[in-house]
Amino acid sequence: MTKLRIIYAGTPEFALPCLNKIYDSEHDLLAVLTQPDRPAGRGLKFQLSAVKQFATEKNLTCYQPIKIDLDFIKRIKQLKPDILIVAAYGIILPVEFINIFPLKAFNIHGSILPKWRGAAPIQRAILNGDKEIGVSIMEVVEKLDAGNVYALKKYLRDVKLTSKNYFQILADDGAELMLNHLHLIACNHNLISKRQNDLEVTYAKKISKEEAFVTFSEDSNQLINKILAFNPFPIVRAAFRGKDCKIYHAEKSNIGRMSTPGQVLIRNHELHLGTIDTFIKINQIQIVGGKILTGSDFIKSYQVKPTELFTHAT
């Protein structure tokens, strides 16, 4: 078996399971690429990415280029890498960079390609109400997420799981698929891949905060999908008693009758919210600045009355 010389590119927590497995493997992890530190939070303090934190803890060589230019390409080429592994890096890789790796570049992508190419595949799959969800190992090519698929794992989607849940599930699955893929390459096995069908392509554009505001024009399925898709970011927002609130989790209600959009209904100490067709059950909610509460605790803490309404966030 050949010991592979690997460059790893990733930024958020989604990239950690595979990075950790490669670090623990017999292969040589030459360097890690991640996005530059950026200000975050109320104090706008510079925050290290999850991958930068891992690299720092493990004393790994870590590069944070603003963009991949010719000087940086030369620097990486001098390391004599065999292969590039990518997981949610978030910076466009020019073809000149991809071409310096003799054993190619491969990416963990959180979708059933060719569906949901782009920045937010997991969130878009849930928002769209997809029946299946999954993760792919694909070759990195110049065109966005268009390379051949070498491995795929998919599930029937659990309609109670959020994007946060699936980030972890698919990151773990992607890490397993990628380590198996690396093993095949290191053992010089013939690799089998499948070309993506361009007629089935859909795109997962980046999530914006504006999308997370409840409009009360959504039906129950659309609003539940929206709440699940936008947890952990940007979190669905409505308003209650004039204060913005965040809704973290909801599910189908067992109340079947028609409702008024935004109407509160309390049954068996549970909080239900009206949509344009029926009610949904709110499981986790937070008045901005307060604690995240269950629907039952929200009713108790704010002495919620069934005549009250949720409205548009401000």
- How far is the C-alpha of 105 from the C-alpha of 122, rounded, in Å? 22
- Are 177 and 244 members of one domain? no
pLDDT band, very low/low/confident/very high, at 42 (cuts 50, 70, 90) = low
* Residue of 166, 106, 173 lying closest to 133 (CA atoms): 166
Q: Are residues 279 and 252 in the same domain?
A: yes
Average pLDDT, the chain: 95
Mean pLDDT for 201-214 is 96
Q: How far apart are CA 53 and CA 241, in angstroms?
A: 41
Indicate the Cα dihedral angle 216, 219, 224, 227, nearest 10°: -30
User: Does one domain contain both 252 and 181?
Assistant: no
pLDDT confidence band for 179 (50 / 70 / 90): very high
The per-residue pLDDT for 105 is 98
How much is the average pLDDT of 259-267?
91
User: Is residue 100 a contact partner of residue 9, using CB atoms and an 8 Å limit?
Assistant: no
Inter-residue long-range contacts of 289-293, CB under 8 Å, 24+ positions, other chains counted: 292/246, 292/248
Same domain, 61 and 137: yes
CATH no. for residue 259?
Answer: 3.10.25.10
Q: Do residues 26 and 56 share a domain?
A: yes
Residues 6+ apart with CB under 8 A from 15: 8, 50, 51, 87, 88, 89, 108, 171
Out of 177, 204, 231, pick the residue that ends a domain.
204
Across the strands, what pairs with 118? Answer: 204
> What is the residue range of 68's domain?
5-204
Q: Are 39 and 188 part of one and the same domain? A: yes
Confidence tier at 307 by pLDDT (50, 70, 90): confident
Please give the Cα distance from 83 to 81 (Å, whole number): 6
pLDDT of 103 strictly over 90: yes
Residue 161: which CATH number? 3.40.50.170
Please state, in angstroms and as integers, the Cα–Cα distance from residue 80 to each residue in 5, 60, 174, 245, following that order: 8, 17, 26, 52
- Domain-ending residue, one of 204, 223, 239: 204
Q: State whether 214 and 200 are in the same domain.
A: no
Contact 20, 10 (CB under 8 A): no
Number of domains comprising the chain:
2
Q: Which pair of tokens denotes residue 194?
A: 């499948």
40 and 188 share one domain: yes
Take residue 282 and report the two structure tokens written for it.
Answer: 């709110």
- pLDDT at residue 41 above 70? no
d(CA 140, CA 146): 8
Based on the domain organization, do 69 and 147 belong to the same domain? Answer: yes
Same domain, residue pair 32 and 149 = yes
Identify the pLDDT of residue 43: 57
CA distance 30 to 22: 11
- Single out the residue in 181, 204, 227 at which a domain terminates: 204
Residues 155 and 285 in one domain: no
Do 177 and 288 belong together in one domain?
no
Contact criterion met (CB below 8 Å) for 287 and 313: no
pLDDT of residue 252: 93
